[in-house]
Amino acid sequence: MNRLSLSGYAALCGLWSVLACAEAVAPPVPTGPSVKVPIYFLMDANTGQVLAEALADDRASPASLTKIMAVYVIAHELGQGNIKLEDPVTISENAWRMGGSQMFIEVGKQVSVKDLLMGIIVQSGNDASVALAEHVSGTEEAFTDLMNQHAARLGLRNSHFLDASGLDQPEHYSTARDLGILSAALIRDFPEVYSWFKVHEFTFNGIKQPNRNRLLYRDPSVDGIKTGFTDDAGYCLAASALRDGMRLVSVVMKAESEKQRTAATQALLSFGFRSYETHRVYEAHKPLAQARIWKGQAKAADLGLVEDLYVTVPRNRYKDLKAAMDINPRLMAPLPKGGQGGVLKVTLGDQQLLERPLVALKDVAEAPIYSRWIDELWMLVQ
């Protein structure tokens, strides 16, 4: 295995900031934030690293945080071309009769998908959620099947959805961790739709309603995501903020008041930005190593990463990062672009932070038969 400091590769390739490889006295691990809610979760959206949590895997009523999954499904359907923003949606009596928060649509009227989606995101309209669920899948029940399918695909292990709006039901539940992972996925997979979550107010049918996420008005780095409240769920808030290229996602559940959920979320985000830093250490599709290729028209192949590699570390620990590459010494042609040729591991002290496959950046075709025979002999010798 080849071991090196991240700074070594930075100097070699000229792609990254120089990082010192010398050992240093490690600053203390950040102490947890002071948060007065029973359930919370804080993660870096780019790296997936968890920065703080409490009871993050306890199942709880998600209230209108359910709508994050509803929006994810709708955004996916838009991306697949199955629906369009300008499509008219005829409002059913079932959607019109929905209680709780509303955007005040009228039965029998036609409303565009875009307006209904804004009604979900900004006004948290239960009526809009049901109307779009019926438009996408025919019935709200069929739509929740899609919600649960996406939940399984995204690895949400403790979530089960029975409606599109978040009404309290015994078997309708999620967790702070699952909702954090879902929120990061929405931001990553559908950035255009996510950008609507920072809208402060939306007017429909002559009624102007404000976004209930108070942090949008207090903290310019916050650009989403969703509030929720029911008697069973208490006050909930999923939020995200972006500062200097570092994006955090937080979730608080079971707060006792709107003020408490806002204060707890602000405390989590402040703790994360104050105590940690996130860096892109390697770019996707850039050569990080060369691997010997046997029986190929080319004798070597450049290996790199499929995606940009981000790492989150406690502040002032970036210089202590190290990387190690394990390259397969017996790579055979044909080797397709994207074929794995090794593994990159990043560590901080004696803790391995992450592991990523190193893949071929170009196809390597098989050599003529006589060249393959020669390589076969060399392999036997070695």
How many angstroms separate the CA atoms of 24 and 154, rounded?
Answer: 38
Q: What is the CATH number of domain 2-16+283-381?
A: 2.60.410.10
* Tens-digit pLDDT profile for residues 52-71: 999 999 999 999 999 999 99
Radius of gyration of the chain (CA): 25
Which of the residues 5, 7, 61, 64 is marked catalytic? 64
Write out the two tokens for 59. 């199942």
107-136 b/e (C-beta count within 10 Å ≥ 16 → b): eeeebebebbbbbbbbbbbbbbbbbbbbbb
How many angstroms separate the CA atoms of 291 and 270, rounded?
Answer: 44
As a residue count, the chain comes to 382
pLDDT band at 29 (very low <50, low <70, confident <90, very high): low
Contact 333, 296 (CB under 8 A): yes
Beta bridge partners of 314: 276
Which of the residues 5, 7, 61, 67 is marked catalytic? 67
Q: Confirm whether 2-16+283-381 and 39-277 share one CATH topology.
A: no
146: pLDDT strictly greater than 80: yes
pLDDT of residue 379: 77
Contact 60, 37 (CB under 8 A): no
Write out the two tokens for 63. 């209230």
Write out the two tokens for 165. 């709006």
137 is catalytic: no
Q: Where are the domains of the chain?
A: 2-16+283-381, 39-277
124 is catalytic: yes
61 is catalytic: no
Q: What percent of the chain has pLDDT over 70?
A: 92
**CA-angle at 187, arms to 254 and 208, nearest 5°:** 70
Which of the residues 124, 159, 165, 183 is marked catalytic? 124
Write out the two tokens for 85. 């923003």
pLDDT of residue 18: 25
Mean pLDDT in residue range 233-239: 98
Contact 64, 229 (CB under 8 A): yes
Which CATH fold would you assign to the domain 39-277? Answer: Beta-lactamase (3.40.710)
160: pLDDT strictly greater than 60: yes
Residue type, 70: A
Residue type, 202: F
Lowest mean pLDDT among 12-21, 164-173, 242-251, 304-313: 12-21
Burial class (CB in 10 A: 0-12, 13-18, 19+), 47: buried
Mean pLDDT in residue range 273-295: 95
pLDDT of residue 256: 97
**CA-angle at 153, arms to 151 and 156, nearest 5°:** 40
* Tens-digit pLDDT profile for residues 171-223: 999 999 999 999 999 999 999 999 999 999 999 999 999 999 999 999 999 99
How many angstroms separate the CA atoms of 264 and 54, rounded?
Answer: 12
* Tens-digit pLDDT profile for residues 329-373: 999 999 999 999 999 999 998 889 999 999 999 999 998 988 888
